[in-house]
Amino acid sequence: MSDHDGRRFDLVLFGATGFTGQRAARRLAEVRPDGLTVALAGRREGPLRELAGELGMDMVVADVGDRASVEDMARSTRVLLSTAGPFAIHGDPVVDACAAASTHYADLTGEVPWMRRIIERHHAAATGSGALLVPASGFDSAPADLAVYLASAYAAEQGLHLESGRTVYRLRGGLNGGTLASVLHIFESATPRELADPFALIPGHVSTGEERRLQRDPQWPEFDGVGGRWVVPFFMGPINRRVVQRSAHLRAERGAPMSLGEGFRYDEFQSVSSGRGWLAARTTTLTLGAGQMLLSTAAGRALFRRFGPSPGEGPSERVLSGGVTRSTTHFALSDGRTIEVRQDMRGDPGNAATVRILVETGLALVQRPLVAGEGGVLTPTTALGDELVRRLRATGEHSLDVLES
């Protein structure tokens, strides 16, 4: 399926020998269409050769410490997927190379300060070239982006707009070392002000104090009247909220605004498995807050590094297969009615659902030609929209249902 532009591959997966990368490689081997040329890439030639041989794929040796090798990799393919985090450490050479080569790109990052950096560096040029650079194309932050996208389309069909949205997640899964390393780097390198900015992914946005107050991230438990239980702020909520904000900004900027009311607010919470009461929710919130305080100190981060999984390590197959990833998002419509978007994603959120979303994003990007003026540093739905929805539904492992409440 390789294009006439002389590129060897349709898709290259970079970081393929890591914990998440191996899962993505095996997923690609299962679902890639006949004729699609795929290569696995990384810096460790021995493990890479073994994995590529097992899966019947080509291999590309590339190391972010050797920019020439990364540039050759980007020029060799139409689409490059990356699982090689922390992206603030390893991602710049890869995105730089893809932007220069007009190669579509997607990754699994949830690192907001780094995403802002690549927006500032590459959005304008990539818009012109047609290259689609799509960070946050995994569990961070596609489900949130998809929920608002689908609900907005529903509202538009009714001649209405969305007043607000609230997602409640039910999750069970494990933590891999790459994700932990990314979290540690965020707290190590970003300032509290950067992390608290609700418009961090809209460079140049000048917000009033009142606007920042209204869009402030949730801090405390709330009672979910729909579910009939107390819920706690979702620890990935700040990341997902900023991606949703960027989607709305990009669509308005390109003349196709979403059906969102003035002051639209989107929030995320997580159900408390230990009980329905206020005390359980309060205890969970305080525990999460204590963890964030530890992450804000060098000594606390050292503890996480010592006792948490190292890069390349992750949950057992038993934990992964027993994972649960479900979200229900309720939206208030401008006529007083409510709708909900339900997503049921098979498996562990950070190791199964996220890989599935990234792979389908990559396969969708393979079908997208370069169109001058339509590229940029985008979000999953502004890059792929209905095509990503269709592909995820077609897996049979990711439901996306819009229901009237």
Q: Could you read off the pLDDT of 295-318 as tens digits, one per residue?
A: 788 888 888 888 888 887 788 887
Residue 207 lies in a domain: yes
Q: Which residue has the higher pLDDT, 53 or 310?
A: 53
The pLDDT of residue 4? 45
Evaluate the CA torsion angle 175, 181, 182, 186 in order and state its sign: positive
Count of domains for the chain: 2
For residues 106 and 160, membership in a common domain is answered with no
For residues 99 and 35, membership in a common domain is answered with yes
Token pair 């299962």 in the structure block, residue: 30
How many angstroms separate the CA atoms of 240 and 385, rounded? 17
Q: Which residue has the higher pLDDT, 307 or 347?
A: 347
Residue 172 lies in a domain: yes
For residues 197 and 112, membership in a common domain is answered with no
Kindly state the average pLDDT of the residues 75-97: 97
How many angstroms separate the CA atoms of 247 and 135, rounded? 12
For residues 358 and 216, membership in a common domain is answered with no
CA dihedral 272, 275, 281, 286 (to 10 degrees): -90
The pLDDT of residue 104? 98
For residue 218, the 8-state DSSP code is P
The pLDDT of residue 189? 76
For residues 158 and 102, membership in a common domain is answered with no
Residue 1 lies in a domain: no
For residues 87 and 181, membership in a common domain is answered with no
For residues 156 and 14, membership in a common domain is answered with no
Residue 111 lies in a domain: yes
For residues 59 and 181, membership in a common domain is answered with no
Longest alpha-carbon distance in the chain: 62
Residue 131 lies in a domain: yes
Residue 4 lies in a domain: no
Q: At CA 188, angle to CA 191 and CA 80, rounded to 5?
A: 100
Q: Which residue has the higher pLDDT, 64 or 4?
A: 64
The pLDDT of residue 32? 96
For residues 180 and 135, membership in a common domain is answered with no
Q: Give the pTM.
A: 0.94
Residue 133 lies in a domain: yes
83-92, 248-257, 295-304: the lowest-pLDDT one:
295-304
For residues 115 and 167, membership in a common domain is answered with no
How many angstroms separate the CA atoms of 355 and 314, rounded? 14
151-160, 223-232, 252-261, 356-365: the lowest-pLDDT one:
223-232
What ranges in 110-228 are assigned the alpha helix state H?
112-129, 142-157, 177-189, 192-196, 209-214
For residues 93 and 216, membership in a common domain is answered with no
Token pair 């569990």 in the structure block, residue: 139
The pLDDT of residue 273? 64
CATH number at 35 reads 3.40.50.720
The pair of structure tokens assigned to 88 is 């603030």
54 by DSSP, 3-state: which?
A: helix
Residue ranges making up the domain that contains 13:
9-139+354-391
Quote the distance between the C-alpha of residue 251 and its chain's center. Answer: 18
How many angstroms separate the CA atoms of 40 and 51, rounded? 8
Question: Given a cut of 70, is residue 72 above it in pLDDT?
Answer: yes
The pair of structure tokens assigned to 327 is 């979200």
The pLDDT of residue 274? 53
Are 135 and 92 in contact by the 8 Å Cβ rule? The answer is no
Residue 3 lies in a domain: no
For residues 308 and 172, membership in a common domain is answered with yes
Evaluate the CA torsion angle 74, 248, 341, 196 in order and state its sign: positive
